[in-house]
């Protein structure tokens, strides 16, 4: 690969779940056209409405319909696709052993990139991830980590340190901004315009520790009964979390919105974003909220790249001990001090624009794709 000629790039993902991977692909698709690259996505299992919208950006989406991580016919289809299409770059986001074999055997002549989004920190996945890096740690042309901690982890697990590059996740300040008033945003979420609002947005999964969010909400509700709490998202924990809210006596104060795609509006509707994840690979939601000038109170995760964002951003108040009493006190302190809250928000947006602007991310990726 040389010069500035357009590239043909295939991203291989496990499935189309809304999260950092899918949202990054949406950002990448918007800007690939400006660079005249041809971008395609191969979904190993099943796509999603979000991934399917990439067609509007002239991105072809292919599905393999794999039934498991050991579906040999599905990975045979991936191998044949790679042999037939001859991509310039193949970027693997799966961490699956059979997908890696198909890519490394089938993507003849392509630059191969494996992106680690941080799941190596998750105790449920650690053994499988370490096996992956022991086998393939010197096979891909490059390994991309979304945080310095993820880079250290994959090197320790077996990745060749000379092939590892850290490229943190981005945010597009043009899409996530303070242009919409908080009153209008609250109205869009059917919330009282004058109510103090504390929210979160994520997959409803165990590692997000949304029980802690509700425990903190219960303490705040006792101190400030008019406060509204918003939980945006869905997942396997959804019904149980509704029951927990009821058990805590705050069900009437908590709004479960389900999945939403208008995230700029969601972040503007929150006066404070209360972040509670135990394990967070990077925390793209932190960047989005900061870009919308929404200050954050964060329980520092046990592991993951989000620790770096929380440590460095002036728009985030961190609580290292994850104690619900301390989280509630920090949140109430912001709710009671609008000027401080606004200043935190402004500083947070300035920081995220300087350090995580989408254009910086795109330049880093373009350099990665072209460099041998």
User: How confident is the model over 117-134, as a mean pLDDT?
Assistant: 78
Per-residue confidence (pLDDT) for residue 125, from 0 to 100 = 67
- For residue range 19-42, list pLDDT tens digits in order: 778 888 988 998 887 778 999 999
Per-residue confidence (pLDDT) for residue 33, from 0 to 100 = 76
User: How confident is the model over 215-236, as a mean pLDDT?
Assistant: 96
Buried-state track 182-192, b at ≥16 Cβ within 10 A, e below 16: beebbeebebe
Burial of 294 (C-beta count, 10 Å sphere; 0-12/13-18/19+) = buried
Per-residue confidence (pLDDT) for residue 372, from 0 to 100 = 65
Q: Which two tokens stand for residue 153?
A: 């982890």
Where residue 121 falls among pLDDT bands split at 50, 70, 90?
low
User: How confident is the model over 338-364, as a mean pLDDT?
Assistant: 96
Higher pLDDT, 108 or 247: 247
- For residue range 136-156, list pLDDT tens digits in order: 999 999 999 999 988 999 999
Per-residue confidence (pLDDT) for residue 347, from 0 to 100 = 98
Per-residue confidence (pLDDT) for residue 4, from 0 to 100 = 72
User: How confident is the model over 222-243, as a mean pLDDT?
Assistant: 96
- Which stretch of 25-39, 179-193, 209-223, 336-350 has the lowest confidence by average pLDDT? 25-39
Question: Alpha-carbon distance 362 to 331, whole Å?
Answer: 35
Question: Alpha-carbon distance 218 to 339, whole Å?
Answer: 25
Residue with tokens 């999945």, as numbered in its chain = 259
Length of the chain in residues, anyone? 372
Residue 339 has pLDDT above 80, yes or no: yes
- Which stretch of 31-45, 273-287, 331-345 has the lowest confidence by average pLDDT? 31-45
User: How confident is the model over 102-129, as a mean pLDDT?
Assistant: 85
Residue with tokens 């292919």, as numbered in its chain = 62
Residue 228 has pLDDT above 90, yes or no: yes
Cα of 76 vs its chain's centroid, Å: 29
Average pLDDT of the chain? 93
What does R_g of the chain's alpha carbons equal in angstroms?
21
| DSSP code string of 82-110 | HHHH--SEEEE-S--HHHHHHHHHH-TTS
Where residue 370 falls among pLDDT bands split at 50, 70, 90?
confident
User: How confident is the model over 280-298, as a mean pLDDT?
Assistant: 95
| DSSP code string of 215-238 | HHHHHHHHH-TT-EEEEE--STTH
CA nearest to 258, candidates 283, 244, 238, 273: 238
Question: Alpha-carbon distance 114 to 139, whole Å?
Answer: 10
Q: Catalogue all structural domains in the chain, each as residue range(s) with its CATH number.
A: 8-170+357-370 (3.40.50.2000), 182-355 (3.40.50.2000)
Per-residue confidence (pLDDT) for residue 127, from 0 to 100 = 81
Residue 1 has pLDDT above 50, yes or no: no
Which residue intervals of 107-195 are DSSP H helices?
126-136, 148-157, 182-188
Number of separate helices (H) and strands (E) present in the chain: 15, 13
User: How confident is the model over 247-276, as a mean pLDDT?
Assistant: 96
Per-residue confidence (pLDDT) for residue 115, from 0 to 100 = 95
Number of other CB atoms surrounding residue 270 within 10 Å: 28
Per-residue confidence (pLDDT) for residue 18, from 0 to 100 = 64
User: How confident is the model over 298-320, as a mean pLDDT?
Assistant: 95
Q: What predicted TM-score, i.e. pTM, was given to this entire model?
A: 0.91
Residue 16 has pLDDT above 80, yes or no: no
- For residue range 168-205, list pLDDT tens digits in order: 999 999 999 999 999 999 999 999 999 999 999 999 99
């Amino acid at each position: 690969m040389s010069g500035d000629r357009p590239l043909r790039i295939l991203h291989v993902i496990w499935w189309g779940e809304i999260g950092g991977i899918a949202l990054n692909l949406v950002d990448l698709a918007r800007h690939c056209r400006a660079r005249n690259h041809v971008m395609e996505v191969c979904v190993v299992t099943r796509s999603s409405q979000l991934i399917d919208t990439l067609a509007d950006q002239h991105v072809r989406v292919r599905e393999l319909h794999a039934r498991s991580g050991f579906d040999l016919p599905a990975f045979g289809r991936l191998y044949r696709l790679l042999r037939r299409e001859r991509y310039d770059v193949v970027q693997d986001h799966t961490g699956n052993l059979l997908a890696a074999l198909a890519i490394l055997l089938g993507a003849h002549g392509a630059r191969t990139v494996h992106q680690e989004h941080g799941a190596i920190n998750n105790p449920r996945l650690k053994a499988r991830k370490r096996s992956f890096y022991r086998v393939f740690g010197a096979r891909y042309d490059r390994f991309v980590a979304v945080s310095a901690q993820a880079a250290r982890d994959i090197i320790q697990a077996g990745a060749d340190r000379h092939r590892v590059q850290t490229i943190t996740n981005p945010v597009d300040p043009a899409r996530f901004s303070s242009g919409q008033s908080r009153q209008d945003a609250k109205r869009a979420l059917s919330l009282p315009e004058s109510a103090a609002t504390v929210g979160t947005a994520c997959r409803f999964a165990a590692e997000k520790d949304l029980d802690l969010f509700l425990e903190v909400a219960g303490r705040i509700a006792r101190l400030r009964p008019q406060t509204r709490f918003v939980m945006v998202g869905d997942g396997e924990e959804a019904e149980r979390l509704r029951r927990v809210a009821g058990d805590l006596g705050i069900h009437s104060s908590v709004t479960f919105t389900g999945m939403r795609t208008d995230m700029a509006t969601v972040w503007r509707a929150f006066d404070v974003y209360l972040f509670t994840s135990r394990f967070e690979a990077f925390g793209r939601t932190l960047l989005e909220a900061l870009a919308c000038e929404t200050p954050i109170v964060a329980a520092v995760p046990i592991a993951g790249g989000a620790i770096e964002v929380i440590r460095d951003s002036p728009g985030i108040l961190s609580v290292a001990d994850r104690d619900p009493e301390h989280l509630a006190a920090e949140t109430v302190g912001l709710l009671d001090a609008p000027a401080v809250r606004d200043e935190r928000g402004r500083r947070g947006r300035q920081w995220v624009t300087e350090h995580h602007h989408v254009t910086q991310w795109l330049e880093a990726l373009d350099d990665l794709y072209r460099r041998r």
